[in-house]
Amino acid sequence: MHKCLKCGKKFEKLTKEMLRGCPECGGNLFLYIKEGEDISAADLVDRIKIEDKVPLEGERIESLRILSPGVYELNLDALLERKGIIMKIKENGSYAIHLPSLFVKNKQKQKHRWFLK
């Protein structure tokens, strides 16, 4: 059994999609737990508190991920640090860059709204 170290979700089998990241949260660190025979290890893993605060992906550039319709993941760090908004639309590496958010520099930017499609 594979456990995602980011969201804690367990997967019976390793799938192709998981090679690109956890299908649930996009995390890319998994821990293999032996079924049945190694219960103590599994317990140990369960005791690892999965907290959002552990930044496992230092190289994330996108400020927003659209995981599926109606499910969004926000990178608060990137949103707070960067002026522009970069969206990751699909796990295949498609990105969208919201150009107006990069170019607006004056005070008007507070009034500027952008919308998700």
Partner 1 sequence: MKAKGRKGILSRLIKALFFRKRTAKIGIYGPPNAGKTTLANRIIHTFVDENEDMGVSTEVPHETRRAVRRSGIIIDLKSKSMQNPNSILDSKPGRRKAKAKLKLDVVDTPGLATKIDFHEFMAYGLEEEEAKRRAKEATEGVIEAIKWLDDIDGIVLLMDSTKDPYTQTNIVIIGNMEARGTPVIIAANKVDLADAAPQRIINAFPQHPVIPISALKGENMEELYEEMARRFR
Task: Report, in Å, the least distance between residue 109 CB and partner 1.
Answer: 7
Q: Which is nearer to partner 1, 16 or 71 (CB)?
A: 71
Cβ burial 90-115 (10 Å sphere, 16+ → b, else e): eeeeeeeeeeebeeeeeeeeeeeeee
Long-range pairs, 43-51, Cβ under 8 A, ≥24: 45/3, 48/5, 50/5, 50/6, 50/7, 50/8
Q: Which is nearer to partner 1, 32 or 95 (CB)?
A: 95
3-state secondary structure of 11: strand
Write the binding mask 13 to 42 for partner 1: x where contact by CB under 8 A, - elsewhere. Answer: ------------x-----------------
Residues 42-101 that bind partner 1 (CB under 8 A): 51-53, 63-64, 69-77, 79-81, 85
Task: Report, in Å, the least distance between residue 35 CB and partner 1.
Answer: 28
Residues 94-113 that bind partner 1 (CB under 8 A): 107, 109-110, 112-113
Give the whole-angstrom CA distance, residue 50 versus residue 18: 19
Give the whole-angstrom CA distance, residue 46 versus residue 94: 34
Interface residues toward partner 1, by CB under 8 A: 25, 51-53, 63-64, 69-77, 79-81, 85, 107, 109-110, 112-116
